[in-house]
Amino acid sequence: MSNNTVNVVILGAGTGGTIVANKLNKKLKKTKKPFQLTVIDPSFKHVYQPGFLFTMFKKDKTHSIVKDGKKLLPKNTNMIEEKVKKVETKDKVVITESGTKVPYDYLVIATGAKLSPEKVDWWDDSLYHYYSPEAADRLSEKIENFREGKIIIAIGEIPYKCPPAPIEGALLLDDYFKKKGIRDKVEIQYCSPLDRAFSIKTVNEVIEPIMNEKGIEVETFFNVDDVDTEEKVLYSLEGSDLDYDLLIMIPPHTGQPFLHESGIAGKSGWVPTDRETLRVQDQENMYALGDTTDIPTSKAGSTAHYEAPIIAENIYKDIIGDTNLTKYDGHVQCFFLTEFGKSLFIDFNFEHPPKPGKPSRFWWWFKLFFKPFYFRAVAKGLV
Amino acid sequence: MSYTVTKKVDAVGSFCPGPLMELVRGIKEVEVGEIVELLSSDKGSAAEVQKWCEKSGNELLEIKQYDGDTQGFVIKKGERKRRRRRE
């Protein structure tokens, strides 16, 4: 540790990186040892991504789901607004695109998932989705002006962020067009790469009957193979072809390319991470959380929320010489919107699959309340 | 049964839907008639892989039992039928 100062560098100022910074800052102050927290992020735009399901229907404004990430971090944080070029793991140095070298004693990788449509040869920029603020805004115009025809929601590739979001999109489209009085003129189809609509069986047992009731057609075992945007035909690897008027395609995701180039991750960019200690495999003093890991659980803000305290605790323990590491149990909680006004609540961990009840108004209101609560308390590490 | 495996996809340790998705990726990378072997230790894979092969027109030639929970699913890539094809 240089000059006895403990240097903790966090890559990424999204949900995971921000909560780790806030939690760790409090803990490190307790040690009374000198420390420096550095957060490196290309933009410090902190996006509340569950909000896309609202902005795509113009039920919320983009500026209310995108905040200045610097204001959510501890004031004593060294904030570097740059992309990372490489991590020299042997020398424990992060190199930014401008060439700045940032040494670390502990490195936390919270760089999230990157939308990587270029990964597949069939992607066309005319396709719609709602996995970025700009894309959700663009889709909102299309949905507002959609009068009749067939809408398909399909998954580009697994894994993708927030597994419920594509089905939530289909269910909310149903409600939106019902309220507009034109549901009978709009066909909605959902294409799943699996043999069921939703990956977790206990949730699927609740959600697929709801989709059936609402007249949303579920096409299973549909792994996208090609899209003809001129003829408006979507092809699957399994041999199906579907006509559409509006195709909403969840883009393929990868980890950040510099992680592969630094020898930390494989080609896909997902960081091999111990699912309990959250330590990066074969690396010293390196942790990863949230969407960027290869842990077999949901890529979701909630996952990062529950992983962040584990990393803060384990770095703190390491500094004070406590070898009894805290373990992550796979805890994830999320809302699953079924219409404007109703939601399921899902709670699970590695050992216990979710037992969703029925959609309720209570969880809908809780979901609405959660956004201000997220910016005021969750991101700041208060809960 | 005599065949040559063109591509081996190791999804041991991965959980549902991981092995199936790895198989889908593997099948994309080989030609019609070539053979992919998926290695999986997930108990749900047997039913899922069989169902997927039926739907997708790929042929499940054999299920091998290796040490522990690991199974090998040997699949021959089938011809896909398309109504229209993009040039």
Domains of chain B: 7-76 (3.30.110.40)
3-class DSSP assignment, residue A60: coil
pLDDT score at B84: 56
Q: Tell whether A92 and A121 lie within a shared domain.
A: no
The shares of helix, strand and coil residues in chain B, as percent rounded to the nearest 5, are 25, 25, 45
**A124 touching B (Cβ < 8 Å):** no
B79 or A44: which leads in pLDDT: A44
CB within 8 Å: B55 and A238: yes
pLDDT score at B80: 75
Instruction: Please tell me which residue of chain A has the smallest CA distance to B47.
Output: A195
Residue A22 belongs to a domain: yes
Q: Find the CATH number of the domain harbouring A17.
A: 3.50.50.60
CB within 8 Å: A237 and B86: no
pLDDT score at B82: 63
Residue A359 belongs to a domain: no
Residue A130 belongs to a domain: yes
The mean per-residue pLDDT over the stretch A114-124 comes to 95
Q: Which residues of A touch B19 (CB under 8 A)?
A: none
Residue A218 belongs to a domain: yes
| Rounded CA separation A270/A219 (Å) | 28
Average pLDDT over chain A reads 96
Quickly state the pLDDT bin for A265 (edges 50, 70, 90): very high
Going by C-alpha positions, the residue among B63, B70, B59 that lies closest to residue B10 is B70
Q: Tell whether A107 and A221 lie within a shared domain.
A: no
State the residue range of the domain holding A231.
117-252
pLDDT score at A103: 98
Quickly state the pLDDT bin for B35 (edges 50, 70, 90): very high
Residue of A201, A238, A298 to mutate, testing the B interface (most B Cβ within 10 Å of its Cβ): A238
**B87 touching A (Cβ < 8 Å):** no
CB within 8 Å: B57 and A199: no
- Closest Cα of chain B to A87: distance in Å? 27
| Rounded CA separation A379/A101 (Å) | 27
Q: Tell whether A219 and A326 lie within a shared domain.
A: no
pLDDT of residue B59 exceeding 80: yes
pLDDT score at B29: 87
Going by C-alpha positions, the residue among A309, A271, A274 that lies closest to residue A159 is A271
The mean per-residue pLDDT over the stretch A98-117 comes to 98
Q: Tell whether A14 and A88 lie within a shared domain.
A: yes
Q: Please state which of the ranges A188-197, A208-217, A352-361, B17-26 shows the lowest mean pLDDT.
A: B17-26
| Rounded CA separation A111/B57 (Å) | 39
Residue A50 belongs to a domain: yes
Residue A363 belongs to a domain: no
Encoding tokens for residue A280?
């990066």
Q: Which residue has tokens 């193979």?
A: A225
- Closest Cα of chain A to B52: distance in Å? 7
CA distances from residue A26 to A37, A104, A162, A351, A381 in whole angstroms, order as listed: 11, 19, 29, 31, 9
The mean per-residue pLDDT over the stretch A232-250 comes to 96
Quickly state the pLDDT bin for A3 (edges 50, 70, 90): low
pLDDT of residue A331 exceeding 60: yes
Going by C-alpha positions, the residue among A123, A122, A151 that lies closest to residue A139 is A151
Quickly state the pLDDT bin for B83 (edges 50, 70, 90): low
Which residues in B5-34 are b (16+ Cβ under 10 Å) and which e? ebbebebeebbbbbbbbbbbbbbeebeeeb
The residue among A232, A252, A272 that closes a domain is A252
A9 and A2 in contact (C-beta within 8 Å)? no
Q: Tell whether A90 and A105 lie within a shared domain.
A: yes
Encoding tokens for residue A191?
């294409």
Q: What sign does the CA torsion over A335, A337, A338, A339 have?
A: positive
pLDDT of residue B86 exceeding 80: no
Going by C-alpha positions, the residue among A83, A60, A67, A6 that lies closest to residue A320 is A6
- Closest Cα of chain A to B1: distance in Å? 26
Quickly state the pLDDT bin for A32 (edges 50, 70, 90): confident
| Rounded CA separation A277/A311 (Å) | 8
Q: Tell whether A79 and A20 lie within a shared domain.
A: yes
| Rounded CA separation A297/A202 (Å) | 15
CB within 8 Å: A238 and B84: no
Residue type, A17: G
ipTM of this predicted structure: 0.82
**A350 touching B (Cβ < 8 Å):** no
Of B14, B24, B84, the CB nearest to A296: B14
- Closest Cα of chain B to A157: distance in Å? 8
Encoding tokens for residue A70?
């610097």
Instruction: Please tell me which residue of chain A has the smallest CA distance to B22.
Output: A158
Residue A271 belongs to a domain: yes
H helices then E strands: how many in chain B? 2, 4
pLDDT score at A119: 92
Q: Which residues of A touch B16 (CB under 8 A)?
A: 199
Q: Tell whether A247 and A317 lie within a shared domain.
A: no
Q: Tell whether A151 and A205 lie within a shared domain.
A: yes
Q: Tell whether A281 and A231 lie within a shared domain.
A: no
- Closest Cα of chain A to B8: distance in Å? 17
Of B18, B56, B84, the CB nearest to A231: B84
The mean per-residue pLDDT over the stretch A102-114 comes to 98
Q: Tell whether A248 and A260 lie within a shared domain.
A: no
| Rounded CA separation A317/A313 (Å) | 6
Query: Is residue A243 within a helix (H) or strand (E), and if so which, with residue range?
Result: strand A241-243
Bond preceding residue A359 cis, omega within 30 of 0: no
Encoding tokens for residue A107?
């490195």
3-class DSSP assignment, residue A265: coil
Residue A9 belongs to a domain: yes
pLDDT score at A229: 95
Quickly state the pLDDT bin for A110 (edges 50, 70, 90): very high
Q: List, in sequence order, every residue forming a beta bridge with A128; answer none if it has no partner.
A: A248
pLDDT of residue A16 exceeding 90: yes
Is B53 catalytic? The answer is no
pLDDT of residue A310 exceeding 60: yes
Question: Could you say which residues from 3 to 62 on chain B have a Cβ atom under 8 Å away from some Cβ of chain A?
Answer: 14-18, 20-21, 24, 27-28, 48, 51-52, 55-57
CB within 8 Å: B28 and A237: yes
| Rounded CA separation B81/A237 (Å) | 10
CA distances from residue A151 to A141, A167, A186 in whole angstroms, order as listed: 14, 13, 7
Q: Tell whether A106 and A145 lie within a shared domain.
A: no
3-class DSSP assignment, residue A184: helix
pLDDT of residue B85 exceeding 60: no
Q: Tell whether A51 and A156 lie within a shared domain.
A: no
3-class DSSP assignment, residue A350: coil
pLDDT of residue A1 exceeding 60: no
The number of folded domains in chain A is 2
Q: Which residues of B touch A123 (CB under 8 A)?
A: none
Going by C-alpha positions, the residue among A183, A176, A17, A11 that lies closest to residue A85 is A11
3-class DSSP assignment, residue A88: strand
Q: Which of B16, B51, B54, B62 is catalytic?
A: B16
B79 or A368: which leads in pLDDT: A368
A367 and A374 in contact (C-beta within 8 Å)? no
pLDDT of residue A258 exceeding 80: yes
CA distances from residue A142 to A49, A60, A191, A226, A314 in whole angstroms, order as listed: 20, 16, 20, 22, 47
Write out pLDDT tens, residues A45-99: 999 999 999 999 999 999 999 999 999 999 999 999 999 999 999 999 999 999 9
pLDDT of residue B40 exceeding 80: yes
Contacts of A314 (CB under 8 A, 6+ apart): A277, A278, A279, A287, A325, A326
pLDDT of residue A2 exceeding 60: no
The residue among A224, A252, A280 that closes a domain is A252
| Rounded CA separation A55/A38 (Å) | 32
3-class DSSP assignment, residue A133: helix
The residue among A198, A226, A252 that closes a domain is A252
Pairing of strands A106-109, A6-11: parallel
